[in-house]
Amino acid sequence: MKKVLTVLALASLLVGSVNGSENNDPRLELMKDMRTMLDSMEQIQRGGLYSSTDDMKAGVKKLQGTLNVLESEQIKVILPKDQVYAYKFAQKTASMLRLYSDDMIASIEAGRMDDALEDYTQLLKQCTSCHIRIRNW
Amino acid sequence: MERRNFLKVMAAGATIVAVNPSLIRGNLYADDGRLYTAYEKAQIVDASGNPIKVSALEKEVTYIFNYPYASTPCMLINLPEPTQQDITLKSEMGEEYIWKSGVGKERTVVAYSAICAHQLTHPTPNDSFIKYVPKSKPTMAYKKSGIIVCSSHMSAYDGGAGAKVLAGAASQPLAAVMLEVAADETIWAVGVLGSDKFQDYFRAFKPEFKEFYSGIAQAKQLVSISAKTVKLTEYSKEIIQY
């Protein structure tokens, strides 16, 4: 029984340490942020298609919440090794995402929905542009 | 000349100009005028408004001026070697046109739109990912330097051959700005040759125009009389080149 308890304790410690190191891995954080970005883009699109400016604004807020890491020097740690040199490009993409998403809010509030949907197109273009570059499409 | 003949000559002239408006300025840069747009002639001047002479241009330095619109950046480059001549180029729509050559005594001075033909990357006051890479500096975009590189997606263009695409995803050359050099060595921009992407650019960067030009209307104003020209290092705070 003592042996079983010792093995269980060691196993739980091992699992804990693996989870801990995973939680500290910034690349996992990036993957999480990317999923959030995808969700936010879907939410903006849904808002545009269902004429829900609230959904669009919520999507923008969610999207902007992911940009700080991309805009910071931390981006160097999370990019694929062969693309670290291109971190300035990723930062530029993040700043363009901020620019277009800020403009989307301004356009929605001014009732210029054509402009807001054009901003959505440009946001999507920024996403694909960065994926072409960083993921070597 | 008899009245009837005079009218015939006038009618024929008007028809030719209607078919090809660039003839009105007496210059035709593409062999058949295709993909050439004449704009108001603008003198290339420095930041203080003094005319820049062609002999004063430093070799292999990227200069920036906005033409033909207030917000459309162009590169002016004095290449280390004479350019090639009569280069046949093709737009992404398949239209062929001919770029004649650089200007100046040695045909080394060229100007191109600094809006990348791939995804419209361009210099802003904040940063620039597009520039001429001097022969002594390596680039990841192509096996040799002395070329124009857009470091966004690594498109490479041959500045000595009408900005023909050498590498990368760009599907057409950069549009060329047609220059004239006067007897006193002053430089004038007179038109744009090639597929210019200006309308795509205006649509895509509206928020940026608000930031840098107070709005789209100001950004779309045509350049008149002169075009201020500065080195890229003065135009953009940060230059990124791979």
Q: Is the pLDDT of residue B21 over 80?
A: no
Provide the residue-wise pLDDT of chain A in tens; the chain has 137 residues.
566 556 555 555 544 444 544 556 777 888 899 999 999 999 999 999 999 999 999 999 999 999 998 898 888 888 888 889 999 999 999 999 999 999 999 999 999 999 999 999 999 999 999 998 887 66
Contact between A125 and B119 using a beta-carbon 8 Å cutoff: yes
Q: Considering CB atoms only, which of B127, B203, B211 is closest to A92?
A: B127
Model pLDDT, residue B3: 64
Continuous H helices in chain B: 3-19, 198-204, 206-213, 216-219, 232-235
Q: ipTM value of the model?
A: 0.81
The answer to the question of residue A49 being in a domain is yes
Report the amino acid identity of residue B142. Y
Contact between A89 and B129 using a beta-carbon 8 Å cutoff: yes
The answer to the question of residue A81 being in a domain is yes
Domains of chain B by residue range: 26-239
The answer to the question of residue A95 being in a domain is yes
Q: Is the pLDDT of residue B83 over 50?
A: yes
Q: What is the largest CA-CA distance in chain B?
A: 67
B5 or B198, greater pLDDT: B198
Read off the pLDDT of residues B188-237 as tens digits, 9 standing for 90 and up.
999 999 999 999 999 999 999 999 999 999 999 999 999 999 999 999 99
Which is nearest to B140 in space by CA: B155, B126, B127? B155
User: Can you tell me the mean pLDDT for B45-57?
Assistant: 97
Architecture label for domain B26-239: 3-layer Sandwich (2.102)
Contact between B206 and A99 using a beta-carbon 8 Å cutoff: no
Residue B50 DSSP label: P
Q: Which chain A residues are closer than 8 Å to B119 by Cβ?
A: 125, 129
Q: In chain A, which residues touch B (CB < 8 A)? A: 85-86, 88-89, 92, 99-100, 102-103, 115, 118-119, 122, 125, 129, 132-133
The answer to the question of residue A96 being in a domain is yes
Read off the pLDDT of residues B137-152 as tens digits, 9 standing for 90 and up.
999 999 999 999 999 9
CATH number of domain containing A93: 1.20.120
Token duo for residue B128: 């620039």
Under 8 Å CB-to-CB from B204, ≥6 apart: which residues?
Answer: A122, A125, B120
The answer to the question of residue A10 being in a domain is no
Model pLDDT, residue B159: 98
User: Can you tell me the mean pLDDT for B165-190?
Assistant: 98
User: pTM of the predicted model, to two decimals?
Assistant: 0.85
Q: Which domain holds residue A33?
A: 26-134
Q: Which chain B residues are closer than 8 Å to A133 by Cβ?
A: 152-153
